[in-house]
Chains A and B, each alone.
Chain A
Amino acid sequence: MASSENNGIEVRGLVKQFKKGPKAVDGIDLDVAPGEIYGFLGPNGAGKSTTVNMLVTLLPITAGRATVAGWDVATQGSHVRTAIGAALQAVALDKFLTGREHLKLIASLQGITGDRASRRAEVLLERVGLEDAADRKVGGYSGGMQRRLDLALALVHEPRVLFLDEPTTGLDPQSRTALWEEVRRLATDEGVTVFLTTQYLEEADVLADRVGIINAGTIVAEGTPAELKAEIGAPTVELVPASDADRARLPGLLAQFGTEAAPEVPGSVAVRLHRGDDRASLVSIVRAVDDAGVAVREVRQHEPTLDDVFLLKTGLTLEGAASDADVAASEPGPRSPEPAPADPTAEPVA
């Protein structure tokens, strides 16, 4: 029997296997507390969207058990659907209907009709900034407008649990920030539980109370962003050499302080400092470089990021990865060809 007070998500041993394919989701366990924002990270094909599709009752589960808002997704699908809202990866709208007509249609499908549906549509159109475009057919909407309408549609019936599958993919920075604020408001002011998949680590870092990292269908790490970063512990120091000759000498010189890491600046050398080693510090490195007569133009220290966590746990980097559809096959996604956004924790120190 479900409890109407329970807005959480509970997943035990969840498995999804497609015909003649590997297990897209391979026995995951999850607990999302009511009112919590849970960030679900993973590369393309890791199983993020498959997990979401099972939790929102779009895909039947192969094995395991999952409850959303207290209802079993396998046997109480209609109750689950009444309790949840979902904005999925592909924005599916009817190009011949207007924004307002979409909202009224979805409201009617949820049993909200008449004036109540009209009022709800009005409120949501204002909240997502589409009042002016409300009576235009969505075939003429920009990608960002369609995403905003998609979010509004997910909120029509005031859901207790909200699933957002890569909701900011394709949004401009301004719209992305606005969406983050709205998601945060829903969680804090209205107590909505949010299950958010994303490929943007910054998004998970800024927004999520807790983060789960999925790779090849299994959860490889889980915790608050701070806890996960603390697992990495030591920062990374990156030196930009003055010349090629200096660059050649740096790896040997730095080996005593830590293990080589991927640099951010092309041509520079980076080292992740050994944890618990007092000698492994920024000051020691600067001194050693100075003593060796190696010229550097710049020294940067990076605090651990979720990308570092991701790299450690999966051997892959995630930030900026292309936002292709999450496919069933569990293959590691390619490294992003795009440059990573500036690390907010980077401190230029020299």
Chain B
Amino acid sequence: MNETFLASRAIAWRHLYKWISVPANFMPTFIFPLIFFTGFAGALGKLGDVRGFDYPASYASWMFVFSLLQTCLFGGLATGFTIAGDFQTGFMRRLMLAVGHRNAILFGYMLSTFVRAALMSAIVTGVAFIAGLQMLGGPLQIGGMYVLALSLSLVGTMWAAGVMFRARDPQLGPAMQIPMFLAVFMAPVFVPLDVLQGWLHGAASINPVSYIMTANRQLLAGQAADVLPAVLAVAGLFVVLLAWALTGVRSAERAGG
């Protein structure tokens, strides 16, 4: 087997093992998406009655799509903190010494975050069903929705890794969190894009996350979906952030790990 793949797999194993075996790591990634989902889906149901809001599925379904994307993207942020922690304890030097190709470290974290996001998505889906989630789309549409959402876990990891391979300090977490937070919330989170007003409408119109969120809501509800803009948005983010993350790895190499 390819050595880079083996190394990536080993790094992914350690990351997942630590996530599951240390409650302090596990709980926040587990609880926050559920809090956001239950908080928003439970409190804001009346928004579904507002004029211009003509989504065929329940409001819980509407918010489920947001929570799914948030779970996947924010999972990358948690990985960013793990990377920063590894720099702080010096463990990253050990990893950098042990692997032949250091990109394997990045790929390992991406792999584990993807697996973790898949598990978290399953949990969020289960809770959402209890809260009234309706899946009106066919299997292919629902599958497509999960693929688009899970691809954001890789996007989130590449963003966070790019920041933390450069910063190498958990104290600089807000520099990683705030842009991601803005990307997730400056989108049609609570109501459709057309119902949004003012500056937020403008910001959401150019935010690539909006396209993915909209397409996923259409896929969930079995509507004709604007999949192409969403796929292009994911592909664009992927290319740009892969370059960002890989140059981050080079930056850490130059600094000596």
Touching in the complex, A and B, CB below 8 A?
yes
Closest to A79 in B: B100
A108, B89: Cβ atoms closer than 8 Å: no
B13, A108: Cβ atoms closer than 8 Å: yes
A96, B6: Cβ atoms closer than 8 Å: no
Contact of A53 among B21, B91, B256 (CB under 8 A): B256
- B contact patch SS: helix
A109, B254: Cβ atoms closer than 8 Å: no
Task: Say yes or no: A106-B98 contact (C-beta < 8 A), given A60-B254, A90-B90.
Answer: yes
B117 CB → nearest A CB, Å: 21
Q: How many interface residues does B have (CB within 8 Å)?
A: 29
B22, A96: Cβ atoms closer than 8 Å: yes
Contact of A58 among B3, B13, B89, B257 (CB under 8 A): B257
- Tell yes or no: A81 within 8 A of B by CB: yes
Measured in the bound complex, the distance between the Cα atoms of B189 and A250 in whole Å is 90
B229 CB → nearest A CB, Å: 40
Measured in the bound complex, the distance between the Cα atoms of B257 and A135 in whole Å is 28
Contact of A108 among B6, B18, B257 (CB under 8 A): B6
A82, B100: Cβ atoms closer than 8 Å: yes
- Tell yes or no: B93 within 8 A of A by CB: yes
- Tell yes or no: B225 within 8 A of A by CB: no
- Tell yes or no: B10 within 8 A of A by CB: yes
A58, B91: Cβ atoms closer than 8 Å: no
B104 CB → nearest A CB, Å: 8
Measured in the bound complex, the distance between the Cα atoms of B98 and A82 in whole Å is 8
- Tell yes or no: B136 within 8 A of A by CB: no
Contacts of B166 in A (CB 8 A): none
Measured in the bound complex, the distance between the Cα atoms of B10 and A101 in whole Å is 11
Measured in the bound complex, the distance between the Cα atoms of B97 and A57 in whole Å is 8
- Tell yes or no: A75 within 8 A of B by CB: no
Q: Mark each residue of chain B from 1 to 28: 1 if its CB lies under 8 Å from any CB of chain A, else 0.
A: 0010011011101100110011000000
Contacts of B94 in A (CB 8 A): 92-93, 106, 153
B256, A109: Cβ atoms closer than 8 Å: no
Measured in the bound complex, the distance between the Cα atoms of B9 and A79 in whole Å is 20
Contacts of B90 in A (CB 8 A): 90, 92
A94, B91: Cβ atoms closer than 8 Å: yes
Q: How many interface residues does A have (CB within 8 Å)?
A: 27
A96, B256: Cβ atoms closer than 8 Å: no
- Tell yes or no: A105 within 8 A of B by CB: yes
B254 CB → nearest A CB, Å: 6
A130 CB → nearest B CB, Å: 17
A105, B256: Cβ atoms closer than 8 Å: no
Closest to B250 in A: A60
Contacts of B89 in A (CB 8 A): 92, 94
Q: Mark each residue of chain A from 72 to 103: 1 if its CB lies under 8 Å from any CB of chain B, else 0.
A: 00000011011000101010111011000100
Contacts of A101 in B (CB 8 A): 17
B224 CB → nearest A CB, Å: 46
A108, B256: Cβ atoms closer than 8 Å: no
Measured in the bound complex, the distance between the Cα atoms of B187 and A118 in whole Å is 50
B257, A109: Cβ atoms closer than 8 Å: no
Of B14, B90, B257, chain A has the most CB atoms within 10 Å of the CB of B14
Measured in the bound complex, the distance between the Cα atoms of B95 and A212 in whole Å is 29
B18, A56: Cβ atoms closer than 8 Å: no
Contacts of B254 in A (CB 8 A): 60
Contacts of B10 in A (CB 8 A): 105, 108-109
Measured in the bound complex, the distance between the Cα atoms of B7 and A92 in whole Å is 18
Contacts of B104 in A (CB 8 A): 109
A sample of 8 more A-B contacts (CB under 8 A), given A81-B98, A111-B7, is A53-B256, A58-B256, A60-B253, A90-B90, A94-B14, A96-B21, A105-B13, A111-B3
B residues contacting A by CB (< 8 A) are 3, 6-7, 9-11, 13-14, 17-18, 21-22, 89-91, 93-101, 104, 253-254, 256-257
Can you report 10 residue pairs joining A to B where beta carbons are below 8 Å apart? A58-B257, A59-B256, A78-B101, A81-B100, A90-B93, A93-B94, A97-B14, A105-B14, A109-B11, A113-B6
